[in-house]
Amino acid sequence: SKAKLFDQNTDVKTSFKDVAGLEGAKEEIQEIVDFLKTPDKYTSLGGKIPKGALLVGPPGTGKTLLAKAVAGEAKVPFFSLSGSDFVEMFVGVGASRVRDLFKQAKEKSPSIIFIDEIDAIGRARGKNNMSGSNDERENTLNQLLTEMDGFGTNTNVIVIAATNRADVLDKALMRAGRFDRQIYVDLPDVRERKEIFEVHLRPIIKVAEELDVEFLAKQTPGFSGADIANVCNEAALIAARKGHKAVGKQDFLDAVDRIVGGLEKKNKIIT
């Protein structure tokens, strides 16, 4: 099969409505929506529009969702790729692929480039020279920096990157004119978990009337948004399998148990 360089979505339907909680992050990133929508307003006094923003936070907290919502809100094309896929799939040609990506994004500007797991590309240079593929990765990183530096002030492509390991990133990425804005996307607190449940209950055809969403939020400390989405889907499947007419409290609790079991297994493998 032919490896895909990146995804391109020119009609993003995701909006801030789909992102529950994360009020601070949404407020900060609104600025980027405004830059994309009315760049002239911002540059009228000589200011330069930022080129990049870095979303930092644990897995499954909505970083990709938030970046996509920026594209949806600003109604601009969304180019996305994952750093780890990229490094694996394009051995020897990473730098030229980065060039292609930026070329296409510029042609479709205003636009967003989203790089998930930027740490796969953007680890500090000159470390971990064991793998042998490091030169390749460094070439890719250097090309990314070159592209961002090469943007004219009126290019109007904004690069949003995500990581859960900001500490390992090459400091050069954070320099002014690159990813100089950092936005934290944390695990949800109990109130935010309730909001996330409400978003992911929407697609369920029938939820039991007496379901107490606050109770579910209290039962799920440490869960990410992705875990909660998972719980809601599992609960609907469990209820259907048992022949229930609506998805009820016990179905959700069973789903929570199953997800907790899965998380524990995953952690065992990692450690």
Q: Which residues are annotated as a binding site for ATP?
A: 57-64
**Nearest to ligand ATP of 90, 114 (CB atom):** 114
Per-residue exposure over 45-79, b if at least 16 CB sit within 10 Å of its own CB, e if not: eeeebbbbbbbbbeebbbbbbbbbbbbbbbebbbb
- In angstroms, give the least distance from the CB of 82 to ligand ATP: 8
Scanning residues 105 to 144, which ones bind ligand ATP (CB under 6 A)? Answer: 116
Angstrom CA distances, 225 to 22, 57, 65, 128, 222, stand at: 11, 12, 10, 33, 10
Please name the amino acid found at residue 143. Q
Please compute Rg for the chain using Cα positions: 21
Q: Which residue, 59 or 222, is less far from ligand ATP as judged by CB? A: 59
Q: Min. distance of Cβ 81 from ligand ATP in angstroms?
A: 12
Q: Which stretch binds ligand ATP (CB under 6 A): 30-38, 60-68, 105-113, 232-240?
A: 60-68
Q: Is 14 in the site for ligand ATP (CB under 6 A)?
A: no
Single out the residue of 7, 17, 23, 59 in contact with ligand ATP (rule: CB under 6 A): 59
Helices (H), the chain: 23-37, 39-43, 63-74, 83-89, 94-107, 119-122, 134-150, 190-201, 213-218, 225-241, 249-270
Q: What's the closest the beta carbon of residue 138 comes to ligand ATP, in angstroms? A: 23
Task: Select from 36, 49, 54, 60 the one that contacts ligand ATP (CB under 6 A).
Answer: 60
Which is nearer to ligand ATP, 122 or 225 (by Cβ)? Answer: 225
| Cβ nearer to ligand ATP, comparing 21 with 248 | 21
Rounded to whole angstroms, the Cα distance separating 234 from 245 reads 15
Regarding 65 and contact with ligand ATP (CB under 6 A), the answer is yes
56 near ligand ATP (CB under 6 A): no
Which of 5, 12, 20, 121 binds ligand ATP (CB under 6 A)? It is 20
Shortest approach of ligand ATP to residue 76 CB, angstroms?
Answer: 18
Q: Alpha-carbon distance 64 to 121, whole Å?
A: 17
CA 21/CA 186 separation, integer angstroms: 10
Position closest to ligand ATP via CB: 225
Q: Which is nearer to ligand ATP, 65 or 158 (CB)?
A: 65
Binds ligand ATP by CB under 6 A, chosen from 196, 236, 238, 247? 196
Residue 201 touching ligand ATP (CB under 6 A): no
Residue 27's CB: how many other CB atoms inside 10 A?
10
Write the burial class of residue 35 (CB in 10 Å: 0-12 exposed, 13-18 middle, 19+ buried): buried
Q: Where are the alpha helices (DSSP H) in 38-186?
A: 39-43, 63-74, 83-89, 94-107, 119-122, 134-150
- Interface positions with ligand ATP (CB under 6 A): 19-22, 59-65, 116, 162, 164, 196, 199, 225-226, 229
